[in-house]
Amino acid sequence: MASGSRPWGALLLLLLLLPAACRAGGGCAGEGGPLEPFDALYATGVEAYYGGDFAGAARCLERALRSRRELRDTRLRCRRLCRGQVRLVAPAPGAGGDLPFFSSVLRRAGCVRRCEEPRLGAASRHRAAEEVRADFQRRVPYSYLQRAYIQLNKLEEAANAAHTFFMANPEHMEIQQDIENYKNTAGKVSLIDREAKQHMEDYSAGVKHYDKEEYKLAIDFLESALQGYYSEDEDCQIMCEGPQRFEEHEYLEYKAGLYEAIADHYMQVLACKHDCVRELATRSGRISPIENFLPLHYDYLQFAYYRVGDYIKALECAKSYLLFHPDDEDVLENASYYEGLLEGTVDPDTVKPRKEAKTLLRRHKLESHLLQVAAAGLGYTYTEPNYWNRYGARQDEHSVPSSISSEPEEGPRLFLAKKPMPKSDRELKEGGPLLYSDVKFVYNSQQLNGTQRVLLDNVISEEQCQELHRVASGIMLAGDGYRGKTSPHTPNERFEGATVLKALKYGYEGRVPLKSARLFYDISEKARRIVESYFMLNSTLYFSYTHLVCRTALSGQQERRNDLSHPIHADNCLLDPEANECWKEPPAYTFRDYSALLYMNADFEGGEFIFTEMDAKTVTASIKPKCGRMISFSSGGENPHGVKAVTKGQRCAVALWFTLDPLYRELERIQADEVIAMLDQKHLGPSEMDINPKDEL
């Protein structure tokens, strides 16, 4: 959700259910009794914000953030307490032998409930909707807080809220400008990340000192990071013992037996615990973790300890790293070198890997074994990730040299191999014929500062733009194509769309002129032919998805907007700006190969299409839409892009995505082809648009 966005779905329902006094702000007037649900406080804060009560909004939003933290702290405290007070008893053989075990389970459950209820009240009070939980995960409340504090002239608090939001949403370029404004207006601001993970902060500080060859400071921070990591790991394990979601079952129809139900729930808990490794290695708001995160602590430390002359600790950390990667030749060489330095003073065999690393790795391997057993025997879907891949590109902003040039050849080394850039499965070309005499070439990839990009004008005429716009007004639905969400990208705009098949059906039914409905079909085919020809593809380009879309600025919601109409993204991979990576994995549309946007109008403000670098910040090209203009590009991580806020009027375009894989052809397009064939048989003819290509140049 964009910065400053209003979470309509779940929050609107909450607002309707809140008593009038609470909606008026009374719900944040004071504390006492059971902990107030953070989602209700959030809903009240958001309503206060849009009602102009900025003091009430700040108060409620701060209370919501505190409530969510206290909810987690209470659950952690109670589960940890009851772990110590009620031990689970192993089942005994024979009839009734399982009773002691289940008795201990029941006693622990009772212990947890008795501990939690005085502060939390009924557990059902704190079951927030997924949409609300996602808002807190992406730190959206801090965006509201920033704006509220600006209105209250509390610039230090606003700057910290902006910084906290930005750390999880680096694609929002406008908030960078906000932060710069705070620096210039308020003088020296601290820019505190209020949701920072301390073990991550210590790790980053340790790496910075390491890069500066400040090895004693690096050791202090990295050791603190390790201590924090293992503490957070224990908390993560405990929090996984909460409620779980069973996506494969409708709860009311779920009638599993005792042991099947226990196994279902336990496998969900176990998968959650097993994934704590990824959770602890992932920065807030990021998609992918820092690769090899935990082992890297020991890798840095083994060399840092060597540089300060503590060879025992250096060997200890090297052996700890080798627990995770026993075949790492470079660290094996380092360990052997340290053993040579200790010869005659300490028996190297007495230097052991660290116990906490051995314990975590042993548990992690057992978890993996149980999950794979469940997958094989119970039909549980599970694929073991590679949690400690040491060959990936570094996932943080620091670089470690591939070798230490200041050391003698026989000295220890610290290697981090880089993952080679993936090679394309086809030769990339561009500059082929445009096929249509009226189409005008504007810029190629080089002129657009990128790869596989082209900008064209006059793809359709002014009359066709107007006709298509009339069709749009008659067939579009709010959010159509995005699961019915009226504002899938930002609630500061109304988003509407329609597909080719829908247009043709409306035309056939007489709701819109059939000639106009067919125009949508014909111009999308024209665009496909141009893209296929210009990029000189040696195989057929198929439609993957075709969408006529309009974005309309909502009145009263444009003041000081700092979000984008469509955040920076790539079309076939998950963009990770922190890592400068784009992960070609679901839920991304990995099968998309090329994209195109054909614009219908220019009578609006804002809405520029932008390309950026992989950091989602540095703009490489900006394009102002107008009638007949088309931008096309390859769909991968080489072309991150987005749309600036539409601040006035309505911006309309035909959005097209293509694939080279016929298995991923757009189903609605195939059905639309059938409708066209039927219309032609009935002599209802094509539109008047000339779609015959000119002779190739």
**What residues are labeled active site?**
651
Element (H, E) at 566: strand 566-569
Distance of CA 335 to the CA centre of its chain: 39
Based on C-alpha coordinates, what's the Rg of the chain? 29
Q: Which of 656, 613, 636, 476 is nearest to 170 (CA)?
A: 613
Q: Which two tokens stand for residue 584?
A: 């070609």
Q: Which two tokens stand for residue 171?
A: 């694609």
Q: Which two tokens stand for residue 275?
A: 């994934």
Q: Which two tokens stand for residue 347?
A: 């028996």
Within 10 Å of residue 342's Cβ, how many Cβ atoms? 16
Q: d(Cα 225, Cα 203) in Å, to the nearest integer?
A: 5
Within 10 Å of residue 259's Cβ, how many Cβ atoms? 8
CA dist 299 → 55, 135, 202, 210, 426 (Å): 49, 36, 16, 11, 38
- The answer to whether the bond into 353 is cis (omega within 30° of 0) is no
Residues in the chain: 697
Within 10 Å of residue 103's Cβ, how many Cβ atoms? 13
Q: Which of 132, 107, 144 is nearest to 37 (CA)?
A: 132
Task: Say which residue the tokens 């502060």 belong to.
Answer: 119
Q: Which two tokens stand for residue 530?
A: 């141009």
Residue type, position 23, single letter = R
Pairing state between β 493-498 and 477-478: antiparallel
Q: d(Cα 616, Cα 635) in Å, to the nearest integer?
A: 15
Residue type, position 239, single letter = M
Q: Which of 437, 442, 435 is nearest to 457 (CA)?
A: 442
Contacts 24+ apart (CB under 8 A), 340-347: 341/311, 342/311, 342/312, 342/315, 346/312
Strand, coil or helix: what is 688? coil
Q: Which two tokens stand for residue 323?
A: 């627990």
Within 10 Å of residue 456's Cβ, how many Cβ atoms? 23
Q: d(Cα 458, Cα 527) in Å, to the nearest integer?
A: 11
Cite the DSSP H helix spans in 291-422: 293-307, 311-324, 329-342, 355-377
Return the ∠ at Cα 328 (arms to 324 and 330), rounded to 5°: 130
Within 10 Å of residue 622's Cβ, how many Cβ atoms? 12
Within 10 Å of residue 378's Cβ, how many Cβ atoms? 11
